[in-house]
Structure 1
Amino acid sequence: MKNTLLTCMLFLNVLLTATAQTKSLSELQQKFVDLKFGMFIHYNIPTYADADWPDPEASPALFNPKKLNADQWAKAAKSANMTYGCLTTKHHSGFCIWDTKTTDYNVMNSPLKRDVVKEYADAFRANGLKVMLYYSILDTHHKLRPHQITKKHFEMVKAQLTELLTKYGKIEAIIIDGWDAPWSRISYDDIPFEDVYHLIKSIQPECVLMDLNGAKYPAEGLYYSDIKTYEMGAGQRISKETNRMPALACLPLQSSWFWKTNFPTTAVKDPAKMVAELTALNNVDCNFILNVAPNRDGLFDDNALTALKEIGKLWKHEGPAPKLAPTGAPIISTNIAKNKPANSSWSEDMDISDFANDDDFTSSWVSSKSVANPWYEVDFGKDEEFNTITLTEKAENITAYRLEYLQNGVWKPINKNEKKSRVKVNRFDKVYGSKVRVWIDKSEKPASIAELGVYNERR
């Protein structure tokens, strides 16, 4: 009888989990863009160091707010007509502001001894706001940094994300940082993106994952993120004329992300200008998240509170965004073509074949004008299995192309494509081969390939 009851309970749990997985990626993207405006909250040990990147060995004793009140944060967000919040659970220096079992370098070993993530999540939900979380892969305290990453680091990342996604209720989105960025130099191979993506979706299928990698990848393609991201404070800019991808843009209300000693006496950004920015971004399917930094007492300064109220007077949420165009699933797998030997028909001057698989979308292989039927290929050196090929142009010129692969010395076709777009994603049943080649049948100008990607996606 006990075994029967246990089996029924397990079946019911699986059934409930499956039932919960009702929203497609397109629906989740639409829901996210419909939120329009939210609050980023950079609050962590950097708050107490007057630096965004403090000493990674800074003592937890520094983290000592006397008046921490997450309800004040939530009510300030409501005053600006924001719909959600997003808190820095762990920033680049590795201090965790939740009750984690993965490391002693956490808030429970500070003078506060309170789970800040829990207080934040409870306060925002109590005020009718959605809950999102920020998490940094780069972790200088735990030596999770370039050329030093171990299996133990990966296990820590998975354990920490699991805690964050199981202890605090429904998490609408998670924003990941310090990953695949030129300043972090931690690649999606060092900490495997596909594993992390599937872990998050297995725990909370409706949690949207964003990596702050917008500067690297083309605006027209969805790479390693459910939503396109733009860190405006770092100079990243979304097109306010042409963007049609679901997007997020972030900016601090104050002069930097974490609180500094001069914040109470330094003017914040003009509320009217922030509303103009918000409106322009919303008009191109972009959600705007405005950072407000709590001070060392754990409260927002008066000048920030005043600005948020003024924003709320100037801007109202007037309903859902227009219906988004489908993006298809994001690319989340390892690019097996990256930096492999490449070959091509005659190229233009120095724009030779290796520029099209160097993991740099700013460089390109360019076909010579005199070649009537250009081709480009990548050699894996051995048979590989794959089921996705992406072709990203420098500009939209190729209007017809063919893909093929080499298997046991025989070239076999994959598909033909005549759709014009800068980022061309081709998904197909799994094949095995040692080379991939693209034939360019029609191009309005000399063909130029910024990146050819080959992936073996888990489906």
Structure 2
Amino acid sequence: MLATFLLLASPVQDPGPPPPPAPFGAVPDARQLAWHELEFYGFLHFSVNTFTDREWGYGDEDPAVFAPTDFDADQIAAVAAAAGMRGLILTCKHHDGFCLWPSATTEHDVAASPFRGGRGDVVREVADACRRHGLRFGVYLSPWDRNHPDYGRPEYVAVYRRQLRELLTHYGPVFEVWWDGANGGDGFYGGARETRWIDRGSYYGWEETTRLVRELQPEAVIFSDAGDIRWVGNERGIAGDPCWATYTPRPRPGESAVGPGTTRAEEGTSGTRFGARWMPAEADVSIRPGWFHHPSQDGQVKSPAELVDLYYRSVGRGAALLLNIPPDRRGRIPEPDAASLRGMRTILDATFRTAVSAGATASASEVRGGHPAYGPARVQDGDRATFWTTEDGTTSAGLVLDWGEPRWFDVVSIREYLPLGQRVDRWALDVWDGTSWREFARGRAIGPRRLWRGPFQRGSRVRLRLEDAAACPAISEFSVHAEPPRVTATGAPPAILGAAVVELRSDPPGTPVHYTLDGSPPTLQSPRYAAPLELDRSCTLRAAAEFAAGLSPFELVREYEVWTEDSLLAPVASLVEPRPGLVWRAFLGGWQSLDRLAEAEAAGPPAATGVAARIDLSPRPRDEHFALVFTGFLRIPADGIYTFHLTSDDGSRLRLHDRLVIDHDGLHGMTTKSGRVALRAGLHPLRVEAFNATGGLGLRLEWEGPGLARGELPAAALAH
């Protein structure tokens, strides 16, 4: 009897939590998990191209041109750290073959330059500065070498591996090795000045080269489709929606194997649901139009708002953001770039430093084993190593955050617990408005991180509904945030004929707005918006909403041009009715810009010619090293101000009446530049030029004007 009493009186022992769910599908390894923690880091394109004003060097550049006047690796690293970057990747050798370190493999290196009297080592200085500023260090080493005499032969592969060994053994820990997909083409090649093509899938022996990286830097991830992380498939810094962390790389038709530059890059944008490998995306983009610094682009630095938008469209879709910040000819990050990065950091800090949902009560539709180790509070504890999950077999479930009183928010952050794989397929978000639930967002894929960002919502609770999952969900983070308020302008278009009215609106609604019309930054002492503004002269409108003790870092800047009737260009007269379409001509060559186009046109007949019903690259004779010229007339339907948007990869130009309307020349990804001109109804002489070097390609011309929404030029508007 006593034994029975003692047994009943003994405290019940907690049997502990049940085992976690089994991993689903491909999962990340340790080096990939460490890489996922970074999310945002920088690219440094710095070499002879910085001083020759080119994007791709030919390989015949004199090392003496590399002469930074005030190189400061600490300034570079400090700018990156202040922006919230977690690392920097340096272009230790670009396609021109110039090595930024004194290499035993070549004399085409920094030791042959005047930098530090021939005793400098840019790689050393950047690597050391990264460590002083708490940044990880990564290396970009171009497989293509347009300088080396042995490129294209087996001997060069041994040289490349020796260069890789130098970088991976002399400069401390490396977090990423970056292999570019541009391989083969024309170059100096030790004086041969010829074109050399290689089999990109087999020439480099990527399996052996990968083993070398694993041996020397086992914690480093390799960027390329022969490595650990994949290219997102564009140079705009934008991941697909959805963007799966799993991927099955496939070689393009005609390629012998998967390797840098050989895959179907467009498939990397979204990845592969149920893919064979855990191979998350890295989204690369430059803060300027070009990858290297060009003085002519000092006025084209992406704004803080544009950088924040890229953050949400990359990191917020589960990719990493690799933002290029090219040093100038001094060897420093220019102030416009640094200022934009500071503005980006200010906005992100204001958004994520304190969550709207901080201190909220979390509840769930189900908890695995009913044990708090897997309870809903885990999504609020700031620890990615803990997670909420359900019983096996549950593929739809829900989480609720309740903070008690209605608040404004416009961002929701969700993360899955990555060691168990990417499990959630479809999700939705609801807000409690005081009387009922209302859905405000839905999507596919969560993975490393999903950031929903949209119009401000107001409520006291948010519900995450996981509508479908391939295995029971495992969520490590769920939080709600509010960005600083924004201001939008409606009414008048950027180009005004005569006069127009502009209305300002704040989001969240009701936030006071201050503005100026002379281009000066608004302050709390600037006029407070109370009624629509009538504009009858060209001006720069700047406006910001009140935020905290000052104004929001989201500042609206809008240029308004007021045109008069006599500024409209008259059409040309035609004695006969023009025929449909534009005449196109194709030219072949090692194009780096459009500067040599006139020379090519004067040298002889084009490689091909014809008539096209639209402006794109479909008439091209091949995919690389070509230029196209379209000529004819543009039919303008009504008098007014027309804005044109020219998007291309690589360079392009638009001329009307021999007037250069848009200059989008140079080597760059698929980016857009715009121009504006006042035109009367009728026919106007049109010329569009475009070229592509290697890699991605594209061309699109859009317009908008009186009664015309933005869109591609229709065939009916083109004639010759």
Smaller-chain TM-score range? Answer: 0.5 to 0.7
- Write the deviation string for residues 399-444 of structure 1: whole angstroms up to 9, x where unpaired: xxxxxxxxxxxxxxxxxxxxxxxxxxxxxxxxxxxxxxxxxxxxxx
**AA partner of residue 83 (structure 1):** R
Residue 180 of structure 1: CA displacement? 6.4
Shift of 1:205: 1.0
Paired residue secondary structure (2:300) = coil
Contact residue 30 and residue 323 of structure 1 kept, 8 A: no
- Superposition pairs of residues 183-222 of structure 1, within 5 angstroms: 186-211=199-224
Partner of 2:230: 228
In the aligned structure 2, how far is the partner of 1:69 from the partner of 1:200?
Answer: 29
Equivalent-residue separation in structure 2 for 1:27 and 1:322 (angstroms): 16
Percent identical pairs in the alignment equals 29
Q: How does 1:132-143 map to 2 (within 5 A)?
A: 132-143=138-149
Aligned residues of 1:267 and 1:303 also touching (Cα < 8 A): no
* Structure 1 residue 175: Cα displacement: 0.7
| CA deviation string 1:119-163 (max 9, x = no partner) | 000001100011111110011001465xxx222101101100000
Deviation at 1:236, TM superposition (A): 8.2
Q: Which amino acid aligns with 1:116?
A: V
Q: 1:30 aligns with which of 10, 33, 42?
A: 33
Give the Å deviation of 1:206.
1.1
Matches within 5 A, 1:336-355: none
Q: CA deviation at 1:179?
A: 5.3
Q: Matched residues in 1 for 2:334 and 2:182: separation?
A: 31
Instruction: Say if 1:92 and 1:178, in contact at 8 Å, map to a contact too.
Output: no
Aligned counterparts, 1:249-328, within 5 A: 249-264=283-298, 266-316=299-349, 322-324=416-418, 326=421
Are the equivalent residues in 2 in contact too, given 1:271–1:308 (CA < 8 A)?
yes
Code of the residue aligned with 2:324 in structure 1: it is N
Separation in 2, partners of 1:181, 1:33: 32
Aligned partners of 1:95 and 1:106 also within 8 Å: yes
Kindly provide the amino acid, as one letter, of the partner of residue 123 in structure 2: V
SS in 2 for 1:312: helix
Match of 1:14 in 2: none
**For residue 314 of structure 2, what is the amino acid of its counterpart?**
L
Show CA shifts across 1:96-116 (max 9, x none): 001211101000110003100
Match of residue 132, structure 2, among 113, 126, 130: 126
1:276, CA displacement in angstroms?
A: 2.0
Residue of structure 1 equivalent to 2:121? 115
**Paired letter, 2:345:** G
Query: How far is 1:282 from its partner?
Result: 1.7
State the one-letter code of the partner of 1:163: E
Given that 1:33 and 1:285 are in contact with CA atoms closer than 8 Å, whether structure 2 keeps it comes out as no
Contact 2:326-2:333 at 8 Å conserved across structures: yes
Distance 1:236 1:78, change over 3 A: closer
| Structure 1 residue aligned with 2:472 | none
Residue 311 of structure 1 aligns with an amino acid whose one-letter code is M
Distance of aligned partners of 1:205 and 1:179 in 2 relative to their CA distance in 1, 3 Å threshold: farther
One-letter code of the match for 1:254?
A: R
Unaligned runs of 5+ in 1: 1-23, 212-222, 328-459
CA deviation string 1:258-308 (max 9, x = no partner): 0112133x1311221211221232233211011011111111111111111
Give the aligned residue type for 1:241: P
* Residues 194-232 of structure 1, C-alpha deviations (whole Å, 9 max, x = no match): 011001101111111112xxxxxxxxxxx4120122253
Counterpart CA distance in 2 for 1:175 and 1:200 is 11
SS for the counterpart of 1:280 is helix
Using a 3 Å threshold, how does the CA distance of structure 1 residues 256 and 167 change in structure 2: closer, same or farther?
Answer: same
- C-alpha separation in 2, matches of 1:179 and 1:303: 30
Structure 1: how far apart are the matches of 2:112 and 2:148? 16
What is the one-letter code of the residue matched to 1:206?
A: E
Determine the C-alpha separation between the residues in 2 that align with 1:55 and 1:181: 12
Contact 1:174–1:210 (CA under 8 A) maintained in structure 2: yes
Mapped to 2, the partners of 1:42 and 1:197 lie a distance apart of 23
Would the aligned equivalents of 2:143 and 2:183 in 1 still touch at CA under 8 Å?
no
2:31 maps to a residue whose letter is L
Aligned CA RMSD, in angstroms, stands at 2.4
**231 and 38 in structure 1: CA distance in 2 versus 1, 3 angstrom threshold:** farther
One-letter amino acid matched to 1:207: A
Kindly indicate whether residue 122 of structure 2 is the aligned counterpart of residue 89 of structure 1: no
What is the Cα deviation at residue 55 of structure 1?
3.0
Q: Distance in 1 between the 2:103 and 2:202 partners?
A: 26
Match runs of 1:42-53 below 5 Å: 42-53=45-56
Q: Which residue of 1 aligns with 2:82?
A: 79
C-alpha offsets along residues 308-348 of structure 1, whole Å, 9 cap, x if unaligned? Answer: 11111112477766433559xxxxxxxxxxxxxxxxxxxxx
Distance 1:186 1:121 in 2: 33
Q: Structure 2: how far apart are the matches of 1:75 and 1:276?
A: 23
Query: Structure 1 residue 87: deviation in Å?
Result: 0.4
Cα distance, 1:181 vs structure 2? 8.7
Contact 2:54–2:292 under 8 Å retained in 1? yes
* Counterpart position of 1:241: 242
Contact kept in structure 1, 2:96 and 2:145, CA below 8 Å: yes
In 2: Cα distance, 1:43 partner to 1:69 partner: 13
Change beyond 3 A, Cα 1:129–1:231: farther
- 1:180–1:188 contact (8 Å) kept in structure 2: no
SS of the residue corresponding to residue 232 of structure 1 reads coil
What amino acid sits opposite 1:121 in the alignment?
A
Deviation readout 1:28-86 (Å, 9 max, x if unpaired): 11211220101100001111111111231110000001100010111100121111101
* Structure 2 counterpart of 1:142, one-letter code: H
Match of 2:430 in 1: none
Q: Is the 8 A contact 2:105 2:163 kept in 1?
A: yes
What is the TM-score normalised by the length of structure 2? 0.38
CA contact (8 A) 1:92 1:137 kept: yes
Q: 1:255 to 1:144 in 2, by over 3 A?
A: farther
State the TM-score, normalized to the length of structure 1: 0.59
Alpha-carbon distance, 1:94 to partner: 0.3
Matches within 5 A, 1:387-406: none
Q: 1 or 2, which has the higher helix percentage?
A: 1
Which position in structure 2 is the counterpart of 1:356? none
Report the Cα distance in structure 2 between the residues aligned to 1:71 and 1:88, rounded to whole angstroms. 17
Is there any run of 5+ residues in structure 2 with no aligned partner, and where?
1-26, 187-196, 247-279, 354-381, 385-414, 423-720
User: Which residue in 2 is equivalent to 1:168?
Assistant: 171
The offset of 1:244, in angstroms, is 2.8
